Amino acid sequence: MIFNEDGHTEFAVGMIEDLTRQRIIEWENEQYQSIYRNTVELEYDGICIMDLKTGEVIAKLAESVSADNKAKRENLSFIKKRFIEELMCPEDQERFREEFDILSILSQLEREEVVHFYFVSEKNNEKRHKDCAIRYFNEDRTKLFVCIRDIEQQLQTERESKEALQKAFEAAKHANEAKSEFISKMSHDIRTPMNAIVGMTAIAKANIDDKERVLDCLDKVKVANEHLLSLVNEVLDMSRIESGKM
């Protein structure tokens, strides 16, 4: 802006800048940060992105895990130490220090899409199971993505399902044993009237001219036949009960 001797504006130059692109980037960044925060707080105990070229790691713990839950940029040894001390119970710390070896993990990732480490976390005298999953973050395979999540509820559900299956198996086994016992007893019971029918029929045939003897045999055949029929009905009733028709 240029002024004359009287102090009035004689010439002015103005610039108009389109901030739309900048605003869009800022908005997208805010959305990303919101998703990042909510993902960590709602889904994971902690996440980190590890640069394999520089050894630099960006990590963040959930607020429920650590009061110091801001995303931090540190080296791998520091982040490893922090995760171990803040997330793991003493019994698992030494094991994790030995197993969490980058070269070993990269070797496993050649064969598997995700590498898992399982450990127990202890806080306020409560122990909970955790899953540390490691996978490549980008297509170039220059970065690793590590996420730690609570799997206690998942394990509890699996335990309950296993217990329910075990109970169902025991019930089926008991029912099968009862059925086998019933069939064994029924087989014996059925043979008795059948033997009577066969025996009385043979006697009647052998004494065909003795009317009184034949009638006596026929009466006994009738009694045995009725007994046999009742046993057969019991078997049929059992079959209907098992098929849910009774």
- Model confidence over 113-155: pLDDT tens digits? 999 989 888 877 888 899 989 999 888 899 898 888 888 888 8
Using the predicted structure, report yes or no on whether residue 165 has a pLDDT greater than 70.
Answer: yes
Q: How far apart are CA 36 and CA 45, in angstroms?
A: 13
Percentage above 90 pLDDT, the chain: 9
**116 beta partners:** 133
User: CB 18: neighbour CB atoms within 10 A?
Assistant: 7
Q: Which token pair is 24? A: 């869009």
Using the predicted structure, report yes or no on whether residue 16 has a pLDDT greater than 80.
Answer: no
pLDDT of amino acid 136: 92
| Contact by Cβ (8 Å): 115, 109 | yes
Nearest CA to 132 among 103, 166, 177, 97?
Answer: 97
Half-sphere exposure of 29 (CA within 13 A, CB side): 6
Q: How far apart are CA 100 and CA 95, in angstroms?
A: 8
pLDDT of amino acid 60: 75
Higher-pLDDT residue of 114 and 187 is 114
Strongest mean pLDDT among 31-35, 89-93, 220-224, 227-231: 220-224
Least confident of 68-82, 121-135, 166-180: 68-82
pTM recorded for the entire structure: 0.53
Mean pLDDT over each residue of the chain, to the nearest integer: 78
Using the predicted structure, report yes or no on whether residue 29 has a pLDDT greater than 80.
Answer: no
Q: Which token pair is 242? A: 């098992």
Q: Which token pair is 201? A: 């029929």
Q: Which amino acid is at 82?
A: R
Using the predicted structure, report yes or no on whether residue 57 has a pLDDT greater than 80.
Answer: yes
pLDDT of amino acid 3: 53
Task: Give me the mean pLDDT over the 25-29 stretch.
Answer: 57
Higher-pLDDT residue of 132 and 98 is 132
pLDDT of amino acid 32: 46
Q: How far apart are CA 164 and CA 39, in angstroms?
A: 33
Nearest CA to 121 among 72, 144, 155?
Answer: 155
Q: What are the strands, taking DSSP E only, across 90-152?
A: 115-123, 126-136, 143-150
**72 beta partners:** 59
Strongest mean pLDDT among 28-37, 68-77, 102-111, 227-236: 102-111
Rg from Cα positions in the chain: 41
Q: How far apart are CA 37 and CA 57, in angstroms?
A: 17
| Contact by Cβ (8 Å): 109, 136 | yes
Higher-pLDDT residue of 68 and 40 is 68
Nearest CA to 156 among 127, 136, 178, 116?
Answer: 127
pLDDT of amino acid 116: 92
The edge-to-edge listing of strands for the beta sheet with 72-75 is: 72-75, 56-61, 46-51, 143-150, 126-136, 115-123
